[in-house]
A and B are shown apart, each in its own frame.
Chain A
Amino acid sequence: MIIRYLGARVWILVAALVAAAILVPLANLALPANHPLHVPSYLVPLIGKYVCYAMLALALDLVWGHLGILSLGHGAFFALGGYAMGMYLMRQIGARGVYGNPELPDFMVFLNWQELPWYWYGFDQFWFAALMVMVVPGLLGFVFGYFAFRSRVTGVYLSIITQAMTYALLLAFFRNDMGFGGNNGLTDFKDILGYPIQADTTRAALFAASCIALALAVLCVGAIIRSKLGDLMIAVRDAESRTRFIGWRPEYVKLFAFTLSAVMAGIAGALYVPQVGIINPGEFAPVNSIEIVVWAAVGGRGTLLGPVIGALLVNYGKSVFTGLAPEYWLFVLGGLFVVVTIFLPRGIVGTIDHGWDALKARRRAKNREKGESEGTGNDPNLAASPAE
């Protein structure tokens, strides 16, 4: 029943992610290097990074595609989750740092700090860090959303203040006296949960964890958009004020989705950091948040599959392109956004869906004509939801 409820698309995507979580590590660890299906070790964290981006794009699309909130600040939630994980990884270094201080991370010793700031307490425990990965972005999303949505800030104004939010955090995290490593951020991680972070097996496990996390996120978003709340979100997107006149409170709908989305973005960031080995204030850069929007737009917003595919494709393109001419990447990205907006406004998946629906509708109309001439009734149930 739940299989039918969520629709085939969600389950195919989940199955693909579970398969990737098993097969890619297997092909990396178990197959000999000269085997044609062997996945080289450098690729595992690279694809793992893309999977984290896909989860970030999915989180953004929950509020943009389904609720119409164009957030240009989701990079901030991602980075905060990343910092929470980075703080745990810093504490794991212990006395193995350059200065050999068992209590203080290197950058604090360098700044002549005598003791650990209070907000670093607890981050030597994985469970605490894992909790903060969700709580910190979630809390920021909640507080930000509470004020923004209650004051009925919408549209481009909301987008601008989300950019301002991530920019403010960028400036704050650049400061050395904030206690987050300033400009350099957090890096030189040694191990995670006791396993060496550079080892192939650890990376394979992190990759698998990212795929499973994305699969869970897909199930979660899929369940929401299939529920009555999902319909309500579409209603708020299409005619927000109308929902008020039938008694709904769109600000609560937005607050729920925005907070959940921030938590998802935070988890994606936490999985990203151990795979790339560094987190620095650059992750808060406003342009990062804009990139996320491009991924979702290219894939097709509001299609569930679209943001995932968009994030994977665009980032693969980015990796290829930055190998060739890194200085032009931003132009390519901008160009891509313009081209997609003008020629492919529904994105890749959206366009395919639309074509498919149109084809089905035409076939149905033809059948109906035939059916009517034969005297059989037309079945309205044939027109059931297109996503199935």
Chain B
Amino acid sequence: MNTTRDPLPAGDGRDEAAEQARILQEPQGAETAPADGLAPSHAAAPKPAPEPASEPITVPRVSPHPYATERAVEQAKKEARLGARRETLLYLDGVNKTFDGFKAINNLSLVVQRGEMRAIIGPNGAGKTTMMDIITGKTRPDSGDVFFAGDVDLTKHDEASIASMGIGRKFQKPTVFEGLTVEKNLRLSLAGSRSVFEALLHKRSGEENDRVEEILHTTRMVDKRHRLAADLSHGQKQWLEIGMLLAQDPELLLVDEPVAGMTDAETEETARLLREIAEKHSVVVVEHDMHFVRALGVKVTCLHEGTVLSEGTLDHVSSDPRVIEVYLGR
């Protein structure tokens, strides 16, 4: 890639070091400025949905060495992207993941704002769960950007540190700690120190007890607090897992099929609970149940074959002929 205005012949590297030093000294603005046409500047009104660069970014100064220029362009691009990301909590761009030759995630781009609740729909195998695996560090993408809270590159962190940054997850198949009571499941999930020695010497605080009490009430588990999680019904495990998410109190909640196996009444309740949670958190919900998605009343993204097929209000998405063809119309 060579986007210099006036490239010098390759191999002329005499002034390379000096030039790089000059680039480093240059105020940042000088390099981001030309990129403003591609993405809003920080001061501009929040306008999300970063477009992938369609036209080459140009750098104002000419570098005597193509590689130095290339780096400067790279840097400018990154800055431009970050400008768009500043207002977003979760930012996926051009993400790809292949399993044994099968493209599970295909050039996926998705942006979730701070405080937003987003519903994800899509047929089986669309890559919804794989997307969550990528965000939470369980699966590494082959390529693409995954950023959290502006500039935290999630592909460089493991599950535990991503969880500590404030991304919580409920699994498609409810996974709770079966050998522990409901209450202890919640206590282990409570935000706080994750050190082994702290856990050994841990003393329950009043604040902690209050929080557990509150969550037990919210998830209607008060009378089941001393039950082993293994003895709960499927629906109850789903709620316990949501309770564990609440205890963790993450900034972003990823909730995979929370109402699978629930009765209509329970589904209603869960929708109510999630709406309540969404008042204070950003939430991404994956769900097949259209009634449930309608009850949430939020922006919907439809995935298909690992890529975004349609995005918008539920009415908009569900009237999209492509969505009808691959998903709703079946």
- Residues in A lying within 8 Å of B, measured CB to CB: 224, 227-229, 231-232, 234-235, 237-239, 241-249, 252-253, 256, 378, 380-381, 383-385
Contact partners of A383 in chain B: CB under 8 A: 226-227
Chain B contacts for A231, CB-based, 8 A: 180, 184, 187-188
Q: Which residues of the other chain, B, contact A243 by a CB distance below 8 angstroms?
A: 188
Complex CA–CA separation, A101 to B97 (angstroms): 70
Assembled-state Cα–Cα distance A253/B200 (Å)? 10
30 A-B pairs in the complex with CB atoms less than 8 angstroms apart: A228-B187, A228-B200, A229-B202, A231-B180, A231-B187, A232-B188, A232-B196, A232-B199, A234-B177, A235-B180, A235-B188, A237-B179, A238-B179, A241-B159, A242-B176, A244-B158, A244-B159, A245-B163, A245-B168, A246-B189, A246-B244, A246-B248, A247-B194, A252-B196, A256-B197, A378-B223, A380-B222, A381-B226, A383-B226, A385-B226
What residues of A have a CB within 8 angstroms of the CB of B248 in the complex?
Answer: 246-247
Contact A227 B199, beta carbon cutoff 8 Å: yes
The complex places the Cα of A256 from the Cα of B138 at a distance, in Å, of: 24
Determine how close the nearest CB of chain B comes to the CB of A315; give it in whole angstroms: 29
Contact with A along B187-205 (1 / 0, CB 8 A): 1110000101101111000
Whether B177 lies near A235 (C-beta < 8 A) is: yes
Determine if A248 and B200 form an interchain contact, defined as CB atoms under 8 angstroms apart: no
How many pairs, one residue from A and one from B, have CB atoms within 8 Å of each other in the complex? 87
Q: Which of B194, B201, B222 has the largest number of chain A CB atoms within 10 A?
A: B194
Chain A residues lying within 8 Å of B138, measured Cβ to Cβ, are 241
B209 CB within 8 Å of chain A = no
A234 touches B226 (CB 8 A): no
**In the complex, what distance in Å separates the CA atom of A378 from the CA atom of B227?**
14
Query: At the interface, yes or no: B218 with Cβ under 8 Å from chain A?
Result: no
B175 within 8 A of A: yes
B197 CB to nearest chain A CB (Å): 8
Minimum Cβ distance to chain B for residue A378 (Å): 8
Whether A238 lies near B194 (C-beta < 8 A) is no
How far is B199's CA from A164's CA once the two chains are assembled, in angstroms? 32
Q: Which residue of A lies closest to B203 (CB)?
A: A228
Alpha-carbon distance between A50 and B112 when the two chains are bound, in angstroms: 63
Does B109 count as interface, using CB distance less than 8 angstroms? no
Q: Is the interface of A mostly helix, strand, loop or mixed?
A: helix
Please report B residues at the A interface, Cβ cutoff 8 Å: 136, 138, 158-161, 163-164, 168-169, 171, 175-180, 184-185, 187-189, 194, 196-197, 199-202, 222-223, 225-227, 244, 248
Find out whether the CB atom of B163 lies under 8 angstroms from the CB atom of A380.
no
Known: A247-B161, A253-B196, A380-B226. 19 other contacts (CB 8 A): A224-B200, A227-B201, A227-B202, A228-B188, A228-B202, A229-B199, A235-B179, A235-B188, A243-B188, A245-B136, A245-B168, A246-B163, A246-B244, A246-B248, A247-B194, A248-B160, A249-B160, A252-B196, A380-B222
Alpha-carbon distance between A43 and B84 when the two chains are bound, in angstroms: 79
* A residues near B227, Cβ cutoff 8 Å: 383
Interfacial chain B residues near A238, Cβ < 8 Å: 177-180
- Give the 5 A-B CB pairs with smallest separation, nearest first: A244-B159, A247-B163, A383-B226, A229-B199, A228-B202
**Residue from the list A232, A237, A247, A256 in contact with B164, Cβ < 8 A:** A247
**Interchain nearest-CB distance for B204 vs A (Å):** 8
In the complex, what residues of B have CB within 8 A of residue A228's CB?
187-188, 199-200, 202
Residues of B within 8 A of A234 (CB): 177, 179-180
Are A247 and B199 in contact (CB-based, < 8 A)? no
B219 to chain A: closest CB distance in Å? 15
What residues of chain B lie closer than 8 Å to A380, measured between beta carbons? 222-223, 225-226
Min Cβ gap B4→A in Å is 45
Shortest distance in angstroms between A384's beta carbon and chain B's nearest beta carbon?
6
- Shortest CB distance A167–B (Å): 30
Report the separation of the CA atoms of residues A304 and B222 in the bound assembly, to the nearest whole angstrom: 30
B201: A residues at CB distance < 8 A: 227
Q: For the complex, give the distance between the alpha carbons of A237 and B200 in Å.
A: 17
Bound-state CA distance A246–B164 (Å) is 7
How far apart are the CA atoms of A381 and B168 in the complex, in Å? 30
Between A224, A242, A381, A383, the greatest number of chain B beta carbons within 10 A of the residue's beta carbon is seen for A242
* CB–CB A239/B160 < 8 A: no
Inter-subunit contact B176/A239 (CB<8 Å): yes
Closest A residue to B136 by beta carbon equals A245
Q: Is the CB of B200 within 8 A of A246?
A: no
- Report B-chain residues with C-beta under 8 Å of the C-beta of A244: 158-160, 163
- Do B177 and A242 touch (CB < 8 A)? yes
CB closest residue in chain A, given B245: A246
State the CA gap A237–B185 with chains docked (Å).
13
CA A147 to CA B242, docked complex, whole Å: 34
In the assembled complex, which residues on chain B have CB atoms less than 8 Å from the CB atom of A252?
196
Nearest chain A CB to B209 CB, angstrom units: 13
- In the assembly, what is the distance between CA of A384 and CA of B184, in Å? 12
Chain A neighbourhood of B197, CB < 8 A: 256
Give Cα A231 to B187, complex, Å. 9
**Residues B196 and A256 in contact, CB atoms below 8 Å apart:** yes
- Taking CB atoms, residues of chain B closer than 8 Å to A378 are 223
Picked from B159, B178, B179, B200, the residue with its CB within 8 Å of the CB of A245 is B159
Chain B nearest CB from A113 CB (Å) reads: 44
Bound state CA distance, A229 and B194, in angstroms? 10
- Bound: A246/B241 CA distance, A: 11
Compute how far the CA of A246 lies from the CA of B176 in the bound complex, rounded to whole angstroms. 11
Contact of A239 among B161, B175, B187, B199 (CB under 8 A): B175
A-side contacts of B180, CB under 8 Å: 231, 234-235, 238
Most A CB contacts (10 A, CB to CB) among B164, B179, B184, B194 go to B179
In Å, the complex CA distance between A231 and B180 comes to 7
Shortest Cβ distance from residue B202 to the other chain A in the assembled complex, whole angstroms? 4
Contact residues in B for A227 (Cβ distance below 8 Å): 199-202
Write the nearest CB–CB distance from A373 to chain B, whole angstroms: 18
Bound form: Cα–Cα A248–B163 in Å: 9
CA distance A252 to B163 in the complex (A): 16
B175 contacts across to A, CB distance below 8 A: 239, 242
Residues from chain B with a CB closer than 8 A to the CB of A256 are 196-197
State the CA gap A378–B184 with chains docked (Å): 21
Q: How far is the CA of A253 from the CA of B138 in the complex (A)?
A: 19
